[in-house]
Structure 1
Amino acid sequence: MALSSHQLTPEIIAALDTQNMRGSIAVFEQQVMDAWTEASKVNVPKAEGITHIACFAMGGSALGMDVVRAACADQLKVPVTIINDYTIPASVNAHTFVVLSSYSGTTEETLAAAEKILNITQHVVVITTGATLASWAQQHNVPAYVYTPRFNPSNQPRMAIGYSIGSIAGVLSTAGLLQLTSTHMEEVVAGIRYAQSVCTDLNEHNPALMLAEQCAERIPVLFSSEHLEGIVHAVTNQINENGKLFAVRFPLPEANHHLTEALVAPHTLPQLATFIGINSTLYHPRNQVRYALTEQLLTSRGFRAITYTTHSTTKFGQLGEALTLGGWISFYLAMLGQIDPSPIPNVDWFKAQLKNA
């Protein structure tokens, strides 16, 4: 039985959060700026003749590229592919700019790509905290951002999302594939600061806590659009891993073309799901209308549906706001469920079994 928001106390949080995940969320701002500053110094050659960007990464290490891909769709001149697998697609060629990203440096899928990638393209950069991937980069003279995650006290890769975003932004900008500046990162920080200011106090004015309470012991179904699609991907992953909760995401307007007919069965679905739309005044006007209509349709069918509209006025500010809001939602879901958010026993079990397979 989940706790109510009124039952949650600082003492309960301190007892459950044994690895200080709240500390990692509290320093998202420092993560972004540390990674942006340091990754921008990596000696990445200018990407001449590049027709494609490919990122080989898994889990939290892949999220930064997805955030940047969605947020910078108006800047990116070439397509971006994120490969969450062992194999290298045929579309990767000598004109592909490749990012190999692994927080631990031991992710087997990413290392499998590293073994073959230099036979295909020389435009490669590594992002990692060390271990095998860092050694590989040094051995092959591949540019690398090897960082110490000093602003991630929980040491959970998924909670290094600020590092992932800042490093991808820095590397792609240095390569000339993006035109991001410190001003963009400062806007992200402003959004983070706004969300931190409203999401940390345990009261009814805390949007993250209120949204978490609406999702406790239910299936969160998240909607997002345009520049916020990558962030909501990250938030969904964090709800899965931190809240230990089944959660899914769908983009609008696409979901209106199929998911709206999936509200009939199972008949218990209204008691199982909570729909959350992340709206923005910067979305296409027709998409903004879709959020209101989607909520109207869902509530008329007996579903719990809530729309959160971002308060930040810039696109990058909204990234920081939604990132931080989502981090706190995932954390409060664990707290309300009386779960330590950091351990991931099922993921660890898979890794252990794969070593012996």
Structure 2
Amino acid sequence: MENQKQIDKKNLRQIILDFPKQFAEGLSVGSGIKQEGKFNSVTISGMGGSALIGDMLKNYFLNEEIALSICQNRSYKLPPEAFEKSLNFISSYSGNTEETLAVLAEALEKNLPVVGFSAGGELARIFTEKKLPLAFIPSGIEPRLATGYFFGAMTKVLANCQLFPDISSKLLALESYLDNTNPELENQGQLIAQKIKSLTPVIYASENFSSVAKIWKININENAKTPAFWNVFPELNHNEMVGWTLPQSKFHILSLIFQKDHPRVIERMRLTKELLAVNGLEMTLIEIPGTSTLESLFSGWLLGEWVSYYLALAYDQDPTPVRMVEEFKKMLT
């Protein structure tokens, strides 16, 4: 434990333990925030950790059969969808993300309806100065760890705009569920990290829970400072799978199984595991707890955090800082 504290200088472990509390705070900052008008879709513009919430919302809508369309924008310019009766969410945790500020400038120039989500910086200054609707996200952690704040705030704003049913009670109940599940997820994450140490992890999931596989990959990159990759079933059975004929390095495949997955997708996972074993490749099937979409999404999110956290410790890496990202930003100036 002492060695853990020496490596984890900003106590990321405690942030992960406290994560379930974020939903209530997110709902609070989103309360009363709305944009007037009739909208057919939502365009979420953001980068990095500030954009992950869009991926999770898309999976939530898909599994709950909610017809509202979400367009994800990770660019310097707005996509065509942003101009077609779309509510524009401008998301930057730091408030200083170059690409997102460029998108905001374009949206204001075109007089598009916007709602801001930020913990401060230039984005918060502009929204405050122009008296535009802004959900002020609590500051003090890395953007990739603020998913609960963003999810609570964005779903509340969507409900305020009558684009989405109010799920506040479900999110508050989710806090209790995750608090009870978290210790078990931490233990499981530590075991998985031990299993994949010194190997390159590849994370698979179904299309319906693709955001979780993507977030696992990103957290392993940023927390453990090591490469990782991801893909989805059933599409990978039509192309990527063939690439395992001649792997050029040492990999370990982690396939995430959710209770809401299509039975044929789960069968594909099991058969893929059998087929790859013939080539000497190990694929671990991981059953994610949770009966509801929210429980599944965020149990998967938490387990991925623990895997990347303990993998970072195994590599003697402080999981919090992302020095290469900061160095690159300086090079751009």
> Under a length normalisation based on structure 2, what TM-score does the superposition of the two structures give?
0.94
Select the residue among 295, 316, 336 that pairs with 2:294: 316
Partner of 1:66: 55
From the superposition, tell whether residues 82 and 116 of structure 1 become closer, same or farther in structure 2 (CA, over 3 Å).
same
1:325 aligns with 2:324: no
Tell me which amino acid in the other structure corresponds to 1:283. Answer: D
1:170 aligns with 2:156: yes
Question: Structure 1's 187 and 274: CA in aligned 2 closer, same or farther, altered over 3 A?
Answer: farther
Match of 1:285 among 241, 244, 263: 263
- Residue 11 in structure 1 maps to residue 2 in structure 2: yes
- Indicate if the aligned counterparts of 1:188 and 1:321 stay in contact, CA closer than 8 A: no
Encode CA deviations 1:94-127: one digit per residue, 9 max, x unaligned.
5111100000000010000111103435321000
**Could you tell me how far 1:191 is from its partner in structure 2?**
4.6
Whether 1:54 aligns to 2:29 is no
- SS in structure 2 of the partner of residue 142 of structure 1: coil
Q: Secondary structure at the match of 2:227?
A: coil
How does 1:199-210 map onto structure 2 within 5 Å? 199-200=185-186, 206-210=187-191
Alignment of 1:331-342 (within 5 A): 331-342=309-320
Deviates more, 1:337-346 or 1:225-234: 225-234
Identify which of 110, 123, 126 aligns with 1:120. 110
User: For the structure 1 residues 104 and 286, does the alpha-carbon distance in structure 2 shift closer, same or farther, using more than 3 Å as the test?
Assistant: same
Match in the other structure for 1:76:
66
Question: Which residue identity lines up with residue 199 of structure 1 in the other structure?
Answer: L
**Correspondence 1:32 to 2:10:** no
CA distance in 1, matches of 2:269, 2:49: 28
Cα distance in 2, alignment partners of residues 339 and 68 from structure 1: 31
* 1:297-340: CA deviation from partner (whole Å, max 9, x where unpaired): 22222112101112222221111211111111110010011111
In 2, Cα distance between equivalents of 1:105 and 1:96: 22
Match of 1:66, SS state, is: helix
CA distance in 2, matches of 1:11, 1:72: 43
Cα distance change, pair 310–190 in 1 and its aligned pair in 2 (3 A): farther
Q: 1:253 to 1:186 in 2, by over 3 A?
A: farther
- Structure-1 separation of matches of 2:157 and 2:204: 29
Aligned equivalents of 2:160, 2:222: Cα separation in 1: 32
Indicate yes or no: 2:1 matched with 1:20. no
Residue 5 of structure 1 corresponds to which residue in structure 2?
A: none
Quote the Cα distance in structure 2 between the aligned partners of 1:79 and 1:181. 18
Q: CA deviation at 1:148?
A: 2.5
Residue pair 2:156, 2:168 contacting (<8 A) in 1 also: no
Looking at structure 2, the residues matched to 216 and 11 of structure 1 have their Cα atoms a distance apart, in angstroms, of 21
Q: 1:160 aligns with which of 146, 153, 158?
A: 146
Give the equivalent residue in structure 1 for 2:254.
276
From 70, 77, 91, the equivalent of 1:101 is 91
Kindly report the root-mean-square deviation, in angstroms, between the aligned alpha carbons of the 2 structures: 1.8
Q: Per chain length, whose mean CA-contact separation is higher, i.e. which structure has more relative contact order (CA < 8 Å, sep 6+)?
A: 1
Pick closer, same or farther for the CA change 1:193–1:290 going to 2, 3 Å.
farther
1:248 matched to 2:237: no
Which residue number in structure 2 is paired with residue 257 of structure 1? 238
State TM-score, norm by structure 1: 0.88
1:203 is aligned to: none
- Aligned to 1:353, the other structure's residue is in SS state helix
Corresponding residue for residue 4 of structure 1: none
**1:205-258 CA-partner distances (Å, limit 9, x unpaired):** x21011111221221111112442222222221111001111111011111111
User: C-alpha deviations, 1:32-79, integer Å up to 9, x for none?
Assistant: 22112321x13303551x223211100000011111111122343232
Cα drift, residue 139 of structure 1: 2.3
Q: Partner of 1:236 in structure 2?
A: 217
Considering fraction of residues, name the structure with more helix. 2
88 and 175 in structure 1: CA distance in 2 versus 1, 3 angstrom threshold:
same
Distance in 1 between the 2:61 and 2:28 partners? 19
The Cα shift of 1:351 comes to 0.5
What 5-or-longer segments of structure 2 have no aligned partner? Answer: none
Structure 2 residue matching 1:141: 3-state secondary structure: coil
Partner of 2:332: 354
Matches within 5 A, 1:191-206: 191-200=177-186, 206=187
